[in-house]
Structure 1
Amino acid sequence: MKKIRITKHFDFESAHALYGYDGKCKNIHGHSYHLYVTVIGSPIEDSSHTKNGMVMDFGDLKSIVKKEIVTKFDHAVVLNSNSPHKELANTISDHSHKVVLVPYQPTSENMLIDFAERIQIQLPQNVLLHSLKLYETANSYAEWFASDQS
């Protein structure tokens, strides 16, 4: 079977702070994130199928990523629930601000691991998550590849 990769690009804004970090990122600061989601599969070869010729409908991929990632993380403060930042999160939430508590240090690297898990379980059976690329700044990004996971 022929394998094809398709990629969809998403943007969202988030703030985070890295507890215990020895640089500026220990302070709450924001990023304009750019997320590239690439899936791989064989195009449907059934002329009676509404998605004939597609690996996956871009609209379906968009729905999954928006639901699992963008809606949850956009314009939120992301903090580590396994650190004293949990108390900070409570204070921020008390003032009606959107907070996402995650069980990890909210680096781009760890966010990608989380995002991969969230996306993979939502994909159609015949489509696999191939890779993710998350830009934190215009010239700094992290990548996740399925082939690197073992």
Structure 2
Amino acid sequence: MVYLTRQEHFNAAHKLFNPKWSKEQNEAVFGVCANENWHGHNYDLFVTIKGEPNPDTGFLFDVKKLSILVKQYVIDKLDHKNLNMDVDFMKDKMCSTENLAIAIWQQLAPHLPGDVKLHCIKLYETARIYVEYFGD
């Protein structure tokens, strides 16, 4: 089994706010991340796929094609967007990094060929905070 990782980058704004809670409770739980005027992050995304190399090419999957898929189904939809308002696959979800990593997985997995599997989505919100998601 071979693992191949592609790194991408995007910028996006969001706020953490549970509409079922009062403003005070949101601020108590989410702190400055509940800011009514939003806040942003410079996200680093690592997409890891797994499988066996093709005997004719030696590739697990063409990295140019992987880059195109990640850009088409993820980066183009997230970059310089408001996650709470502009991103269809985040609609009605808490825009935490955890939920975003799961949503990115759901966006990419159906578009990989059958012999290649998504192994991990690693999403850095900051240099010191990241989430890893390995599927259901």
- The bucket for the TM-score relative to the shorter chain is 0.7 to 0.9
% identity of equivalent residues: 36
Q: Does the alignment pair 1:128 with 2:117?
A: yes
The C-alpha deviation readout for 1:46-104, integer Å capped at 9, x for no partner, is 3xxxxx1100000111011101110000000111xxxxxxxxx4xxxxxxxxx225231
Q: Is the partner of 1:44 in helix, strand or coil?
A: coil
Unaligned 5+ runs, structure 1: 47-51, 80-88, 90-98
Unaligned 5+ runs, structure 2: 19-25
Partners of 2:59 and 2:122 in 1: CA distance? 22
Compare relative contact order (CA 8 Å, sep 6+) and give the higher one, 1 or 2.
2
Q: Is the partner of 1:121 in helix, strand or coil?
A: helix
Which of the pair has more CA radius of gyration? 1
Partners of 1:69 and 1:53 in 2: CA distance? 27
Once the two structures are superposed, the pairs formed by residues 102-141 of structure 1 within 5 Å of their partners are 102=90, 103-141=92-130
Normalising by structure 1, what TM-score?
0.78
Q: Does the alignment pair 1:66 with 2:53?
A: no
Partners of 1:72 and 1:18 in 2: CA distance? 19
Find the partner of 1:6 among 4, 11, 24. 4
What is the total number of aligned residue pairs between the two structures? 122
Q: Where in structure 1 do 4 or more consecutive aligned residues deviate above 3 Å?
A: none
Which AA in structure 2 matches 1:26? A
Of 36-45 and 15-24, more deviation after overlay is shown by 15-24
Partners of 2:51 and 2:34 in 1: CA distance? 40
Q: Does the alignment pair 1:25 with 2:12?
A: no
Q: Is the partner of 2:87 in helix, strand or coil?
A: strand
